[in-house]
A and B are shown apart, each in its own frame.
Chain A
Amino acid sequence: MTFIKDTLTIAAKDLSAEWRGREMLPAGVIFALLIILVFSFALETQVALRPDAAAGVFWAALTFMGVLSFNRSLAAEREAAGMDGLLLAPVSRTAIYLGKLLASLALLLVGAAVLLPIYAALYNLNIFKPGFALTLLLGLLGFTAPGTLLAAMSNQARTRDLLLPLLLLPVTMPVLIGAVEASRIFLAGGAWNEAAPWLTLLACSDVIFMAAGLLIVDQVLEE
């Protein structure tokens, strides 16, 4: 019980810090919009108006926004020496990991929610589909679980901001492929059973990465 409370307290702490400082979310959303813009010129997607390319562009934007936010979340702790305090507190490492993960996930979901209407207008898409919402949740979870863990590692390295995307992107390739494919199907008006294999892939990746994170986090967080 205390474990769940600790987890939620840490998540709430991160979110309220973000609410007060408003550092990550505006930067992340603007960055993601810029990426969508860059892609739309690089691929000329408005001309073709293909939902398949649109899904890929959206996930590329979310990916880079995610990398930015994981880096920021742990860098903020480092700058304020908050991690030392957290580790000295009588809280399990697993709770710290889960709390950070929840906060990052919530932030990314809020970011995606801000991004989506703009994106839907740009690409003339109907985004209000329960399947797409589920894909978004599963995909972002599968990305955040290893992201939080690897950010905790890369932040203790010399080349910290540079290192995280290099570590994270090859590892989360299955999540990215599954998320893009499922989104593509849902955005094109496909049915649930069409997307089922991809949702299964996403769910399995989520479980595996979460389990690995929970088992390994003790090795990564240290005084």
Chain B
Amino acid sequence: MLDRHNRLLAALDLLTTLLMAGAAGVVFFFTPVEATMGAVQKVFYFHVAANWAGMLGFIVAAVCAGGYLRTGSSAWDIAESAAVEIGLVFTAIGIVSGSIWAYSAWGTFWTWDPRLTTAAIMVLLYAAYFLLRQGIENPERRARFAAVYAIIGIISVPATFLSIRMFRTIHPVLVAGEETLGLTPAMQAAFFFSLAAFSFLFASLFWHRIRLGRLAEAVEIQQSQV
């Protein structure tokens, strides 16, 4: 049973590695160089994919939180914190890579664009999630409170995005976002390839992180026995 799981995981890892290498290959060698921004536009493919994986992580975490509150099983809690952690890593990567692209294309690291600002607030929100977990010793209570916060977080994120967008339509920003980019078919192919590769990367990291969480739980139980 366990052995089969390990083999499945190894297969997933291999597939993910191939997909990531393939996506990088498509991005670097098959997409045209964009006419106004130059080579830096290629950051776009992995940048959007990283943000997608980050969002996926937070949504998966909220689903796991719902599962925990319904069943009270620690497996949901482990999956939830794993999803939040990976979501945070991907979102942070998305922000930093976006900043570099913005600096090259627009001459500024940061604009108060709705997506950027929402991403920044999300990072702060889910960083607070881990501070909350850290502050509670009782594992059952920690899991319950974390689940509550993950659900409140996912409720507030779309509202935040919406409100900042309303804010920005009234106070227009100087630079336009990505929607002004026309994507050629080759660019679209690379874009969807990257999205798929990052989805697999997310799945494989998620599995590894859950395994780590299970091991940590086992060690914690052992510690209480000693």
Chain A positions within 8 Å of B, measured between CB atoms, are 146, 149-150, 153-154, 156-160, 163, 166-167, 169-174, 177-178, 181, 197-198, 201, 204-205, 208-209, 212, 216, 219-220, 222
B135 part of interface (Cβ distance < 8 Å): yes
Q: Which residues of B contact A157 (CB under 8 A)?
A: 132, 135-136, 145
Which of these, B132, B135, B145, B164, contacts A177 with CB under 8 Å? B164
Task: Kindly specify which of B97-105, B153-161, B183-191 makes contact with the partner chain.
Answer: B153-161
Pairwise interchain contact A167-B135, C-beta atoms closer than 8 A: no
Chain A nearest CB: distance from B75 CB in Å?
Answer: 18
Complex Cα spacing A109 to B101, Å: 46
B147 part of interface (Cβ distance < 8 Å): yes
Dominant secondary structure at the A interface: helix
Also in contact, A174 and B128, with CB within 8 A (given A158-B136, A158-B137, A216-B151): no
Which of these, A154, A163, A174, A198, contacts B156 with CB under 8 Å? A174
Dominant secondary structure at the B interface: helix
Q: Which residues of A contact B144 (CB under 8 A)?
A: 219-220
Q: Which residues of B contact A220 (CB under 8 A)?
A: 144-145, 148
Also in contact, A174 and B159, with CB within 8 A (given A197-B166, A219-B148): yes
| CB nearest to B156 among chain A residues | A171
Also in contact, A171 and B124, with CB within 8 A (given A158-B136, A163-B131): no
Pairwise interchain contact A170-B128, C-beta atoms closer than 8 A: yes
Also in contact, A170 and B156, with CB within 8 A (given A177-B163, A201-B163, A220-B148): yes
Pairwise interchain contact A158-B135, C-beta atoms closer than 8 A: yes
Q: Which residues of B contact A178 (CB under 8 A)?
A: 163
Which of these, A153, A169, A174, A198, contacts B145 with CB under 8 Å? A153
Number of chain B residues close to chain A: CB under 8 A: 31
Pairwise interchain contact B69-A219, C-beta atoms closer than 8 A: yes
Would you list the 3 A-B pairs with minimal beta carbon distance, nearest first?
Answer: A157-B135, A170-B125, A174-B159
Q: Which residues of B contact A156 (CB under 8 A)?
A: 136, 141, 145
Pairwise interchain contact B152-A173, C-beta atoms closer than 8 A: no
Chain B positions within 8 Å of A, measured between CB atoms, are 69, 121-122, 124-125, 128, 131-132, 134-137, 141, 144-145, 147-149, 151-153, 155-156, 159-160, 162-164, 166-167, 170
Q: Would you mind naming 12 contact pairs between A and B with Cβ atoms under 8 Å apart?
A: A146-B152, A153-B148, A157-B136, A159-B134, A167-B128, A170-B156, A173-B163, A174-B159, A174-B162, A201-B159, A208-B155, A216-B151
Pairwise interchain contact B163-A159, C-beta atoms closer than 8 A: no
Chain B nearest CB: distance from A96 CB in Å?
Answer: 16
Complex Cα spacing A129 to B1, Å: 69
Complex Cα spacing A206 to B151, Å: 16
| CB nearest to A201 among chain B residues | B163
Which of these, B145, B160, B166, contacts A173 with CB under 8 Å? B160
Q: Which residues of B contact A167 (CB under 8 A)?
A: 128, 132, 149
Q: Which residues of A contact B167 (CB under 8 A)?
A: 177, 181
Pairwise interchain contact A212-B151, C-beta atoms closer than 8 A: yes
Q: Which residues of A contact B149 (CB under 8 A)?
A: 150, 153, 167
Q: Which residues of B contact A209 (CB under 8 A)?
A: 155
Pairwise interchain contact A170-B135, C-beta atoms closer than 8 A: no
Pairwise interchain contact B132-A153, C-beta atoms closer than 8 A: yes
Chain B nearest CB: distance from A202 CB in Å?
Answer: 9
Pairwise interchain contact B132-A154, C-beta atoms closer than 8 A: yes
Kindly list 12 other residue pairs between chains A and B, CB separation below 8 angstroms, not including A201-B166, A212-B155: A146-B156, A154-B132, A157-B145, A163-B135, A170-B121, A170-B125, A198-B166, A204-B159, A208-B155, A209-B155, A219-B69, A220-B144
Also in contact, A172 and B156, with CB within 8 A (given A153-B149, A166-B128, A178-B163): yes
